[in-house]
């Protein structure tokens, strides 16, 4: 029997598979275009907020410990003594967010897809009233559709790996804003170093994301494992004692990007439309750890719009898809403004800028209601999207 999907999802990563499972619960037929597997070990770990956790729990795809590590505190150090501290108990919650092992989450989602009869995994795109592009920031489909991806390249690359530490992380996410000298440069360059807890409660493993100048990144990647751990220990003040690499290092350039439009008609097709979601629609600096949270919020909003649509309105209707585009563009723009602003603020050299931003950190740390409100915004809502019978 021929399979005629209502929606084709291009990209079977975390965002694409989550979307497929949610749409299948709406009793829509979904074609999910499989994605090539990343070469080598995956060292990524994502910080997921309450909204993302509720969404994945609702799909029964939330991992168990030690693949999930609750973050109870977040400590941030500036470049001249400024500090900022967030604690879950100050907001009356058990955790600020959770660090989730990417491979484990991907496996759970893939298994759930296999047991969902409304989803058919395909190796190539198929025609459907609506195509959702979830291929990531280097999306080939987005380029073929002629959608411009406005990109600002930061003068930084991310160096990522995992390490085992002498002391337990105690559920604390640690981040340092600082400066370093790269070979071939006449002055120090800004960098952001984050150590994120892994391995469950009481674990001693951390994920590293070290955002540095490209020349500094090349220098770090060329070091042997022992010297790299030594350089890292010096940069973070040996906060967790001696560290040893437990994975290979990965490297990628950092950028701020967003698609000029998130929806449109498929070329040459009057009754077929597309929508972008996840990194195919936007890319943020990792300093706030919100990349996957924003992508899953795209998914939740698109499903909400489809669930609430008029029974007579088709999935390719431009007015329907504009509801999704308007809702998400505003939120993504706000998050991009915050992450880009912080990156640029801490990249300004000179003692005056150092004093101003570190005074700002101290003032914000003592701000009370404002700090509490910002914590709640970062944690996100905890209610999963509605699901049920789709109309039409």
pLDDT in tens, 211-235: 999 999 999 999 999 999 999 999 9
Q: What is the structure's pLDDT at 7?
A: 97
Q: What is the structure's pLDDT at 284?
A: 80
Q: Give 188's pLDDT tier (boundaries 50, 70, 90).
A: confident
When the pLDDT of each residue in the chain is averaged and rounded to a whole number, the result is 84
Question: pLDDT of 153-166, one tens digit each?
Answer: 888 899 999 999 99
Q: Give 373's pLDDT tier (boundaries 50, 70, 90).
A: very low
Whether 208 shows a pLDDT value over 90: the answer reads yes
Range picked from 29-43, 81-95, 207-221, 373-387 for highest mean pLDDT: 207-221
**Minimum mean pLDDT among 17-26, 33-42, 307-316, 317-326: which range?**
33-42
Q: What is the structure's pLDDT at 329?
A: 85
Backbone angles phi and psi of 346, in degrees to 5: -85, -5
Q: What is the structure's pLDDT at 87?
A: 82
Q: What is the structure's pLDDT at 364?
A: 44
Q: What is the structure's pLDDT at 212?
A: 92
Q: What is the structure's pLDDT at 388?
A: 46
HEC letters along 21-63: HHHHHCCCCEEEECCCCCCCCCCCEEEECHHHHHHHHHCCCCC
Question: pLDDT of 67-120, one tens digit each?
Answer: 999 999 988 887 666 677 778 887 777 888 999 998 899 999 999 999 999 999
How far apart (Å, rounded) are the C-alpha atoms in residues 161 and 262? Answer: 33
Q: List, in order of start, the domains of the chain with CATH numbers.
A: 7-152+254-379 (3.50.50.60)
Question: pLDDT of 231-261, one tens digit each?
Answer: 999 999 999 999 999 999 999 998 888 899 9
Kindly calculate the radius of gyration of the chain based on its CA atoms and give it in whole angstroms.
22
Q: What is the structure's pLDDT at 44?
A: 76
Q: What is the structure's pLDDT at 385?
A: 56
Q: What is the structure's pLDDT at 77?
A: 84
- Listed in sequence order, the residues at least 6 apart from 364 whose beta carbon sits closer than 8 Å to its beta carbon are 84, 370, 371, 374
Average pLDDT on 4-29 reads 96
Q: What is the structure's pLDDT at 370?
A: 41
Q: Are the C-beta atoms of 156 and 231 separated by less than 8 Å? A: no
């Amino acid at each position: 029997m021929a399979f005629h999907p209502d929606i084709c999802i291009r990209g079977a990563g975390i965002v694409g598979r989550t979307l497929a499972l949610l749409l299948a619960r709406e009793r829509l037929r979904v074609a999910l275009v499989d994605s090539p597997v990343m070469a080598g070990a995956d060292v990524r770990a994502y910080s997921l907020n309450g909204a993302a956790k509720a969404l994945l729990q609702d799909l029964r795809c939330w991992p168990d410990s030690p693949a999930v590590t609750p973050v109870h505190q977040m400590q941030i150090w500036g470049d001249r003594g400024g500090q900022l501290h967030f604690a879950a108990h100050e907001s009356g919650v058990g955790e600020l967010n959770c660090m989730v092992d990417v491979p484990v989450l991907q496996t759970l989602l893939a298994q759930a897809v296999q047991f969902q009869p409304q989803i058919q995994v395909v190796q190539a795109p198929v025609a459907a009233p609506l195509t959702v592009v979830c291929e990531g920031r280097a999306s080939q489909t987005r380029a073929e559709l002629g959608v411009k991806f406005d990109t600002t390249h930061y003068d930084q690359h991310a160096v990522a790996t995992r390490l085992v530490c002498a002391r337990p992380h105690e559920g604390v996410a640690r981040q340092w804003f600082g400066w370093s000298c790269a070979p071939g440069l006449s002055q120090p360059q800004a960098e952001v170093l984050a150590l994120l807890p892994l391995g469950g409660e009481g674990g001693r493993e951390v994920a590293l994301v070290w955002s540095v100048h490209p020349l500094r990144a090349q220098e770090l990647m060329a070091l042997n494992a022992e010297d790299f751990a030594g350089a890292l220990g010096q940069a973070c003040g040996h906060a967790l004692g001696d560290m040893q690499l437990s994975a290979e290092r990965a490297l990628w350039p950092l950028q701020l990007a967003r698609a000029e439009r998130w929806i449109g008609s498929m070329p040459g097709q009057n009754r077929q439309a597309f929508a972008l979601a996840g990194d195919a629609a936007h890319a943020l600096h990792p300093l706030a750890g919100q990349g996957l949270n924003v992508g899953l919020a795209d998914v939740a909003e698109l499903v909400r719009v489809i669930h609430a649509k008029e029974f007579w309105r088709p999935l390719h209707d431009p007015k329907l898809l504009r509801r999704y585009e308007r809702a998400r563009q505003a939120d993504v723009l706000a998050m991009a403004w915050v992450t880009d602003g912080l990156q640029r603020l801490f990249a300004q050299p000179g003692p005056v800028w150092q004093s101003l931003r570190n005074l700002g950190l101290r003032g914000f740390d003592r701000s009370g209601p404002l700090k509490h409100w910002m914590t709640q915004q970062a944690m996100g809502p905890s209610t999963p999207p509605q699901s049920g019978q789709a109309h039409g």
